[in-house]
Structures are given as structure tokens and as C-alpha cells.
Structure 1
Amino acid sequence: MLEPETNVVAFKPRTAVAHHPKSLMERVYAAGSLPLRADDRATKAVAVMLQALGFLVIEEITADGATRQLQRGETKGAMDRPWRLSKPAFSGTLGAPDGGGAFPT
């Protein structure tokens, strides 16, 4: 007996999950820093917007594991590398204690 033909197509689940800017900021602020995979472009797009507003610091993770802080115009060229998102220092300088006396990581 022949099986009937179907036109059902299986869709692959999305690998990148878009996060609302508020939830991403809450996760970074609670943890101090948050690593992002190189292929997580949806979350990176939200992070770039939050960086422009001054809410996040974006660091590129280089091939040797070192980090390099990305300025606003540099993020587009570093989308293929993993990132680390951090809470900015209260004083506005990276490495200075924030309002609670903790050092950003």
C-alpha cells in the first residue's frame, strides 16, 4: 500500500534567541558579565543598542582568549568573534569601582 504524500516541512529551531533589552541588561547586571557566542547575532544587536545608550560595555574575545574593549563604531566589524558584555563602572572608567564598591568584571 502506498503512503499518501504530504507537504509538511520540518523547520529547524532557531539557534539565536533574541532577548528583550531590559532582560539582557538585568542578566548582565546580576552576573557582572555575560559571554556571548560568536553566532548569537540577535543578542549582539540588542547589546550594541544598549552600548550606545551607555548601559553596557562590550569586549571582543580574541583568539588567544584576551579581551579588547570595543568602541561604538567597532562592533560591526567584530560580529564574527565571541563577546563579553559587562556592566559599566559607575565612574565611567573601566576598572574603577562602581557605586556599590565592586569592580566590574
Structure 2
Amino acid sequence: CLVFLISLKAGGLGLNLTAASVVFLLDPWWNPAAEDQALKRAHRLGQTRTVEVKRLIARDTVEETILALQAKKQKLADEALAAAGGTGGSANALSLSDLKLFFR
């Protein structure tokens, strides 16, 4: 078993990780597009195996709040894109109400 441990932001840019078959997300990011980009490093041309993605989130933690924020941002992005009839990424800025979620 080989293990390659890398942070989400560093692992999401410029790497092709087609040797990976299991990806663990341990540091959720407030922007779902950042996680999606990192996961696509394992889902590349040349990948010969099924890739499993596992996410570890403890209850009542900031990570759980980030996961809820991701779902909110993804829903808003999906609705905006559906209304515009296009496709693309999600919002890249945290609003004041988003930031307040971390301090409730």
C-alpha cells in the first residue's frame, strides 16, 4: 500500500494522480470547486481503476459547517447556471453571512 499525503489546495493544482484509487478528503474547503478540482486529479485520462472518494467529517465541528456551506454554494451555483442556461464553476467569494456561520 502506497500513501501520498498532500493538502487539498496543493493536490488540486497541476498534478495527475492516476495511480490513486482511493482519495480521502480530510481538510474540506469552503469552495466546492476546489475539492472537485483536486478529485479530478485522480479521475484523469489513463486511470484504469475505479476511484473511491472518502470524506471524514466529525459532528459539531467547523468541518461540518464547511460541508453545509459547500452544499449551499453548490445549490446557488446550480440554480444560477440553470437560469442562465449554461455551465461553469461555483461562487468564489465568502459573503458576510457565510463567515458568520463559523462563529455561531
Identify whether the pair has TM-score above 0.5, normalized to the shorter chain: no
**Greater helix percent: which structure?**
2
TM-score, normalized by length of structure 1?
Answer: 0.29
**Greater strand percent: which structure?**
1
Tell me which structure has the larger Cα radius of gyration: 1
